[in-house]
Structure 1
């Protein structure tokens, strides 16, 4: 059961699964463009997503969150590892075409993710036309587009307008309408509210929650705003330098973090109460984030960790259950221990 959500899941409910996903980008130098190294953007990520669930993915910039999202929808081919959709490994061909219908993505920037030369109607209708043989709309694409615009809170009569005639929040609603056009089962949201004003962020998050209830969608919600992730997610995965270092339901992660990096993240999130904020212990990390082209040996966080011991330098910690009782959840730290977090 996902604590605090009232929803129970079983292993039979798993709809999307990542198995040891890796994405390495070659580093080329010289006139001959020889490969002299690799940027390990995503390095061995595995997780399960269940029907109707929202999995939040958090971490600092450059940790591999967005690359992971692109791997899930096969916009990037993994260097190693596989993606399973309802128990079937996605391969090029018909399996890939099926994944395109079942797993869609909402991009971060509503200003660059919509083609300025296309009308809103053409943008939202594009996936319908590509998959028209499977959908069997029989020329009713325009009616479907109007239905989608109305579903995301836009005026269907604005179907012939262009993206520049809409605000940022409205453009993101258009992106969401495009994302749900094929009735997908999973929607990957790659920082969908980070480019929007705070008041508009709340509207878009509420829209996503309503669509999840109405359509039974499962979300992979990628963000760096801890408050937004806590509000919308059932479970949370914390990424650091291409790896998942901790995963659990949102109450476990926010109230009982085990990994030192997660504890530092939570201590940095402000509380809207000056009395409680004064009681909080702020964890200040030393040093800079290492380069993903040359990640540290052993535990990747050991160069900034106040708990680091000699074995942290040589032995990579496995992502296994840590702690006891209801607060127990997987964390990859040799010296993981629960830290109580003061929340508002």
Structure 2
């Protein structure tokens, strides 16, 4: 196999600057026992050695079921959590080794939009204080006398009335609150925004509005997104590339077309088969893949391939040897621009017909 952890051969617009380079990222949370004398008896392997790149102006979607480590990756990239090992490079500089002013400068360029629009906003602060708070931490961005105007401009950019600046979060709907969160993320003019399931708590119609807003802002401000979600339809709509995670590992990564129309990993195929199809005729033609068993504990993952305990292709090799995230051997001879020529962490990777809703 030809290793290609970053999936860069599949990135649209190859040659663009890689803003983020994540290599062999690991985050283990210790499991302890005892009251007076605590000792570590194990670890929850939330993220266990993932690698990817995020290019300038690109949207990288990260999908997977609950507990696979998506949100932990978001916290590591934004330095809300310290990694156990691995590197996160922003424009070539390893941010995991930074502290003080150097880290503060990098954090200004990597902002986060949180999942819950209700708990992510302080109910005791006005909208003006919430959106303007980044200016208190980074006063060089906006002088004190200019902050009110800047906040009103940000509210206007995200589609809110600038006169709402003195209102409180409880006076807004869920979609409006998420727009406030996006305005706060844009305040410092970052280059990268990590969106951790930003629409999962919203109604379907509001989800479309927020996703369309994010696409418009990306074009307007030249943003790069890490878009984390479990809704495969939304991820397909907004993403240039997609990484599929399972139990702390990336199992497949490629362009939107490669992942959705030509999936080669069994887990990706199972996920796509579960997406509802509005057309009864198409729904009747496709095969539903039902996975047996439960997701293994991240504190004690299976040996070799972590998906093998639920995979219909599993053989002894899957237990003995961990598959590399690489172009599978049976596709290595294909041309780089062919859709099956993308990294997939499976010893027996193969295409499988999947019917999913088209991009809206």
Q: What range describes the TM-score normalised by the shorter chain of this pair?
A: over 0.9
- Tell me the equivalent position of 1:112: 119
Alignment deviations for residues 79-101 of structure 1 (CA, whole Å, 9 cap, x no partner): 11111111111122333112211
Quick one: which of 141, 145, 148 aligns to 1:142? 148
Who is 1:19 aligned against? 23
| 1:192 shift after superposition | 0.1
Q: Work out whether 1:130 is the aligned partner of 2:134.
A: no
- For residue 164 of structure 1, the aligned residue among 158, 170, 186 is 170
Contact 1:18/1:46 (CA < 8 Å) preserved in 2? Answer: yes
Residue 53 of structure 1, CA deviation: 0.3
* CA distance, structure 2, for counterparts of residue 2 and residue 69 of structure 1: 20
8 Å contact from structure 1 (residues 2, 234) kept in 2: no
Specify which of 298, 302, 308 is matched with residue 302 of structure 1: 308
Relative distance call for 1:76 and 1:2 in structure 2 (3 A) is closer
CA distance in 2, matches of 1:124, 1:37: 41
Superposed CA RMSD? 1.7
1:68 aligns with: 73
Closer, same or farther in 2 for the Cα pair 1:101/1:159, shift >3 Å? Answer: same
Q: Give the conservation status (yes or no) of the 8 Å contact 2:265–2:350.
A: yes
> After the TM superposition, which residues 283-322 of structure 1 pair with which residues of structure 2 at under 5 Å, given as runs?
283-322=289-328
Alignment counterpart, residue 55 of structure 1, candidates 60, 65, 74: 60
Contact between 2:78 and 2:107, CA under 8 Å: does it hold in 1? yes
Structure 2: distance between partners of 1:136 and 1:29 = 48
SS at 2:281 equivalent:
helix
1:333 counterpart (346, 349, 353): 346
Aligned to 1:17, the other structure's residue is in SS state strand
Distance in 2 (alpha carbons) for counterparts of 1:186 and 1:225:
21
Question: Which among 161, 179, 185 is matched to residue 179 of structure 1?
Answer: 185
In 2, distance between residues paired with 1:33 and 1:259?
Answer: 41
SS at match of 1:272: coil
> Runs of at least 4 residues of structure 1 off by over 3 A?
1-5
Distance 2:200 2:226 in 1: 15
- Give the Å deviation of 1:55: 0.2
Post-superposition Cα deviations, 1:261-301, rounded to whole Å, max 9, x if no partner, equal 00100111122211011111111111100000000000000
Runs of 5+ in structure 1 lacking a partner?
A: none
Determine if contact 2:296/2:302 at 8 Å carries over to the other structure: yes
Q: Measure, in 2, the Cα distance between the counterparts of 1:342 and 1:197.
A: 25
* Structure 1 counterpart SS, 2:212: helix
Q: Distance in 2 between matches of 1:145 and 1:167?
A: 19
> Displacement of 1:321 after TM fit?
1.0
Using structure 1 for the length normalisation, give the TM-score. Answer: 0.96
Give the distance between the partners of 1:343 and 1:59, measured in 2 at CA.
Answer: 16
Which ranges of structure 2 fall in alignment gaps of 5 or more residues? 1-6
1:38 matched to 2:43? The reply is yes
